[in-house]
Amino acid sequence: MRTEWVLLAALAAFSASSTVGKAAGVTVLHPEPGLKCMLLDAHDLQATVQSQLPPIRSAPSSNAPMIGYPSEIVLVRDPLQQQAGYVAVVRINGQPGWIAADKLQPWHAMNGRPGKCIPTLLSNGRLGTHIEQ
Amino acid sequence: MLATIAAQPAARAQVPATLNGAPIQVTPYALEPGVPAITIPAGAPTTTPGDTGTGTGSGTSGTGTSGNALNTLLSQSWGAEAITEAEALGVNPTALAATCVVESGCQNVGSSSGSSATGAFQMQSAAYQEGLQTALAANPSLASQVVQGAAGMSDPATEAIAASGYLMQANTALTNGGISDPTVLDARAYYNFGPTAGVAIAAAAPSDLMSTYISSAAMAGNNISATETVGQWQASVSSKIGNAASQSVLS
């Protein structure tokens, strides 16, 4: 009996610690300097599957390996770094990359109201965004 | 977690047993001094279908009780089969359970007004087809369990295969977006709002308004008010699926 209860308690503790560790209470730590928000162009915002989106590549070339896909908000270097029709970006996980410049537009909130998009570091270690309105 | 372990003995090569109600619980016959009582509450699923979203039916009107998404799924006649299918695809059964809890309370319902999404997972036709293709490409042996044609959308065990495939897509998309080891909560945003806004919301500050990230159509289709924040939306989902929210999409 004692062994069973110890096992149950261990399972409950593991479950609880995993909950706390991965989801609860994400907060904004601070604005991330050297980045600014841009938005995917109107066509790409309508994508229903990710493969329809412009890829993020490891170098400013269509021949460079693809390293991922953007979300609707793209974090670009500030000041803007452009090369061969590509713009330097930083992915949510901090990885640098390049995306075709003609696939981006200046950021605006989806609700059309004035606001400011601030690239931030979140407490879960991801880069993210904070939108002030 | 106990329910997950309880489900695992159903090996893939065996015929899954149909469970009626929650899995067997440990019932102590003598109380241990100082050890609190452990109870697993029964769920209270409703038959209210979800609302329309981008990738799937995807409303947030189910009523799963905290911590028992898997129990709610297992209480369905097709639940054990769905779990076996998810495991055969490497999808966390709790992620699949959370999906049907939020979408329909795991009830095999029809389409809600103005939506083409149907079934326990409230999938629209395109998402259903995509999910099914992804799943069968990953594990072709599941084809023998698929009800062919449009009728498959109304067969919960078949739709569970498609929903598992769609969760695989969500996991890939979120990972491609830079989110390592996506959680069920991350995947909900993808499931509801698609590949661009879904990833953005997973990286949004909790105090931000949902309306700054998703279109007015998506707001209306998911019953999200103009003042609802990302954190409030996440809390709303979490309240329906309990600690499933923090679990990984893949097992």
**pLDDT score of B32:** 52
Instruction: Give the gap in angstroms from C-alpha B137 to the nearest C-alpha of chain A.
Output: 17
Cβ–Cβ below 8 Å for A48 and B180: no
Instruction: Identify the band that residue B14 occupies on the pLDDT scale cut at 50, 70 and 90.
Output: very low
Entry pTM:
0.74
- Candidates B11, B176, B85; CA nearest to A71 is B176
Of B26, B199, B238, the CB nearest to A4: B26
Mean pLDDT over A117-127 rounds to 94
Whether B22 is in a domain gets the answer: no
Give yes or no for A3 touching B (CB within 8 A): no
CB contact under 8 A, B26 and A9: no
Q: In terms of residue numbers, what domain contains B198?
A: 47-137+149-246
- Residue A33 and residue A127: Cα distance in Å, rounded? 11
Q: Say if A101 falls within a structural domain.
A: yes
- Distance in Å, alpha carbon of B32 to nearest chain A alpha carbon: 8
User: Contact B247/B95 with Cβ under 8 angstroms?
Assistant: yes
Using the beta-carbon criterion (under 8 Å), do B199 and A72 form an inter-chain contact? yes
- Per residue in B209-230, is it b (16+ CB within 10 Å) or e — as a string? bbbbbbbeebbebbebeeebbb
Closest residue on chain B to A131 (Cα): B208
Tokens of B223: 């019953």
Residue B1, in any domain of the structure: no
Does residue A14 belong to the interface with chain B, where contact is any CB pair within 8 Å?
yes
Answer yes or no: are the C-beta atoms of B159 and B106 closer than 8 Å.
no
Total count of domains within chain B: 1
Reported as a single tens digit per residue, the pLDDT across B154-199 is: 999 999 999 999 999 999 999 999 998 999 999 999 988 988 999 9
Looking at per-residue pLDDT, the higher value among A53 and A22 belongs to A53
pLDDT in tens, B132-162: 999 999 999 999 999 999 899 999 999 999 9
User: What SS3 state is found at B140?
Assistant: helix
8 Å CB contact between B56 and B195: no
| Residue B106 falls inside a structural domain | yes
The pLDDT of B89-112, averaged and rounded, is: 93
How far is Cα B244 from Cα B86, in angstroms, rounded to an integer?
15
Residue A20 Cα, gap to closest chain B Cα (Å): 8
Backbone angles phi, psi at A77, to 5 degrees: -65, 145
Rounded to whole angstroms, the Cα distance separating B4 from B2 reads: 5
Q: Note whether B205 contacts A44, CB cutoff 8 Å.
A: no
Residue B66 lies in a domain: yes
Number of domain units in chain A: 1
| CATH number of the domain enclosing B161 | 1.10.530.10
The string of pLDDT tens digits covering residues B16-49 is 444 444 444 444 445 555 555 444 444 444 333 3
Q: Tell me: pLDDT of B54 over 90.
A: no
The nearest CA of chain A is from the CA of B156 a distance in Å of 24
Distances in Å between the alpha carbon of B76 and those of B62, B79, B99, B236? Answer: 15, 5, 14, 24
pLDDT at B110 over 90: no
User: In this structure, what are the phi and psi dihedrals at residue A110, rounded to the nearest 5 degrees?
Assistant: -65, -20
Contacts of A68 in chain B (CB under 8 A): 176-178
- Report yes or no on A58 lying in a domain: yes
d(CA B213, CA B232): 14
Residue A21 falls inside a structural domain: no
Structural domain of residue A50, as residue ranges? 26-132
Q: Which of B195, B203, B238 has the CB atom closest to A129's CB atom?
A: B203
CB B28 within 8 A of CB A6: no
Residue B18 located in a structural domain: no
Q: Give the C-alpha distances (Å, rounded to integers) separating B108 from B77, B100, B183, B232, B242.
A: 11, 9, 25, 28, 22
